[in-house]
Structures are given as structure tokens and as C-alpha cells.
């Protein structure tokens, strides 16, 4: 695995938000006050995004909306934009990304924040494969009014990417070289400590605390990973996880454990990493390359693979194909 020869001083700080650690790195740091201002801006954006878009807080805009999704609701600008972006992602991915899987997550036992309560191993509630959902047609009006339709929605599949996007936009005028990481999802600007790019490790889902499966070197790009290494559980003798196929309501991604995507925008990287996971191991290479998406993936047997589009960013890999 490559090592970095750090030429420029790097300032690093972190905070907790969205059930993960958010790390902000910047270099060179000439004024610590400027860095602390940037850190506070990022922390505020993550806090505001979480409050607007989480399904785990009954007072959030999203939770209030989900009480009667077929009614019109006036929500905060952040929540309104997030729902609009989720709808654009729904169309962009040809319906692979669909936030209307909240009812499926609940029926599988994923009811509370992962940091406070895991799904129960045994449940009396039955869960069965359902028919595909009808086409999603949310409605939007001025003054942040929205009607999402028949089914409640979950914005967890795009919220972190949006928080990263908005944070980068907020601080890029004051920081020339920075990286914001949230639970392994990152956006980076500039050349990093060596001016050659930021080195980003892709976690081994089978050994999260060990060496990464590969290392990417990125400039002015985002990278996001969707993985079942953490949010997975056994229930009534069946393996479950949070990446739901909207066509069936069942956990998807046959043959896969993790998918990593590189894109200009972190929200786009996030929605594609989840959508490509649902494609499954047999189709992911052709599907990702035909859609021009730099992608790496790890099989359920622990093998790492890359498509031709992400290969130029890979500077080290263990067992890749």
C-alpha cells in the first residue's frame, strides 16, 4: 500500500452527524481561524440536513411529511431540495434509486437509528415479496410545498451526499485544498498534502479495521461506497440488509458486499453506488461502463473488481480484477 510523503501541513478536525464521524481536512492551513470557520460551516450544514431529512426524528420535516404523504406539505428549503434531487436521481437511474422503500425497511425491522437500536433477530411480523411500485410522480409547488404520493419516503440514500455537496460549496471559497469525509464517503478539492491528489482508501468490508481493498487518488472529485458490512442483520433465520430492491421490496445486490463510485458530485456518487449495488455482481461491469460510471466492487467472497473507468484512479490494489 502506498505511503504519503506529506509536504504541506494538514489541519484535521471532526464531529458526529448522521450516525457517523465527519472529518474535515485542509491544507495548507495558514490561519487556524479560517479552518475553524470552515469546520463550523460544515457542521452546521450536516446538522441542518440531518434535521430536515432524517426519518428517525419524529419532529423532522421528512417525518412530518411521511405522516400523510398524499397531502401537500410545506417543508424547509433543504428538505424540498432533497426531495427534488431524489426524484431526479429516480429518473437518472431508471428507477433503480427509489426512496419509497421506507415501508419495506420498516417491515424488515429497520425502524430506529442504527446507533441506538438494531433490528430484532426474531420478529412476529411477516415480510413477503411485493409487486413493483407504480411510477413515482411527486408534485412540487413554490414556497417549498411538496406532495410525495401514495408511499412515505426515506432520504437516507441521498442525504449524506447532499450534505457533502453543500458543505464543499460553502467552504471552497476559503479553502483551496480540502477533503470532507462522512463515514467513508468523501469529496475532495485540490491536490492534497502532496499536491498530487488525495489518497482515498476503499474499505475492506470483511476487515473494516484492516488495510483497504484498494487506494484511489482523486482531485476535485467525490467517492461514495454502498456496503452491507455494517447495516445488515439476521432475522428469523434470513440475512437482511438496508439496500432494498424497489421492484421487490427485498434486499438486493446478489453476489455483492460493497460498491464504490467516483463522480464529480457526491450525491450522484451516492445514488449510483446504491443503484449499481442493486444491479448485482453479474451485471455491474457492463451496466456501469455503459452508463459511464467509474466503479469498483467487492463480491460476497471478498474479491475486489474494477471497471475500466475507475482504473486510472487506482494507485494500489490488493486482489483486483
Residue 2's pLDDT is: 53
Q: Which of 187, 184, 162 is nearest to 271 (CA)?
A: 162
For residue 112, what is the DSSP state? S
Percent of the chain with pLDDT over 90: 78
8 Å CB contact between 171 and 272: no
Computed over every residue of the chain, the mean pLDDT equals: 92
8 Å CB contact between 161 and 185: yes
Q: Does residue 186 carry a pLDDT above 90?
A: yes
Q: Does residue 307 carry a pLDDT above 80?
A: yes
- The DSSP code sequence of 151-190 is S----TTTHHHHHHHHHHHHHTTT-SSEEEEETTEEEEES
β pairing state of 214-218 and 314-317: antiparallel
pLDDT tens string 204-215: 999 888 899 999
Contacts of 280 (CB under 8 A, 6+ apart): 252, 253, 254, 255, 256
Residue with cell 474479491: 303
Rounded to two decimals, what is the model's pTM?
0.94
Count the Cβ atoms, other than its own, within 10 Å of residue 137: 10
Amino acid at each position: 500500500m502506498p505511503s504519503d510523503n506529506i509536504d504541506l501541513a494538514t489541519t484535521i478536525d471532526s464531529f458526529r452527524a448522521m450516525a457517523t464521524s465527519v472529518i474535515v481536512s485542509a491544507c495548507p492551513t495558514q490561519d487556524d481561524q479560517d479552518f475553524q470557520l470552515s469546520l463550523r460551516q460544515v457542521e452546521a450544514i450536516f446538522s441542518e440536513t440531518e434535521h430536515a431529512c432524517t426519518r428517525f426524528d419524529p419532529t423532522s420535516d421528512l417525518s412530518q411529511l411521511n405522516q400523510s404523504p398524499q397531502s401537500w406539505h410545506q417543508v424547509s428549503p433543504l428538505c424540498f431540495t432533497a426531495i427534488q434531487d431524489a426524484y431526479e436521481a429516480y429518473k437518472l437511474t431508471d428507477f433503480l434509486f427509489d426512496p419509497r422503500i421506507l415501508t419495506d425497511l420498516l417491515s424488515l425491522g429497520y425502524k430506529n437509528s442504527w446507533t441506538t437500536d438494531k433490528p430484532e433477530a426474531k420478529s412476529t411480523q411477516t415480510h413477503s415479496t411485493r409487486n413493483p411500485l407504480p411510477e413515482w410522480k411527486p408534485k412540487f409547488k413554490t414556497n417549498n410545498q411538496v406532495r410525495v404520493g401514495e408511499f412515505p419516503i426515506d432520504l437516507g440514500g441521498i442525504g449524506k451526499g447532499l450534505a457533502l455537496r453543500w458543505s464543499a460549496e460553502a467552504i471552497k471559497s476559503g479553502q483551496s485544498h480540502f477533503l470532507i469525509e462522512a463515514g467513508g464517503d468523501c469529496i475532495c478539492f485540490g491536490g492534497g498534502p502532496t499536491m498530487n491528489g488525495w489518497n482515498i482508501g476503499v474499505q475492506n468490508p470483511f476487515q473494516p479495521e484492516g488495510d483497504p481493498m484498494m487506494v484511489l487518488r482523486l482531485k476535485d472529485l467525490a467517492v461514495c461506497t454502498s456496503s452491507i458490512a455494517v447495516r445488515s442483520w439476521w432475522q428469523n433465520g434470513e440475512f437482511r440488509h438496508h439496500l432494498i430492491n424497489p421492484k421487490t421490496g427485498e434486499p438486493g445486490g446478489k453476489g455483492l458486499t460493497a460498491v464504490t463510485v467516483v463522480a464529480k458530485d457526491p450525491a450522484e456518487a451516492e445514488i449510483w453506488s446504491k443503484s449499481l449495488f442493486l444491479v448485482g455482481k453479474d451485471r455491474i461491469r457492463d451496466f456501469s461502463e455503459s452508463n459511464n460510471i467509474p466503479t469498483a466492487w467487492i463480491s460476497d467472497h471478498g474479491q475486489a473488481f474494477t471497471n475500466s473507468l475507475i482504473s486510472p484512479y487506482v494507485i494500489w490494489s490488493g486482489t483486483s480484477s
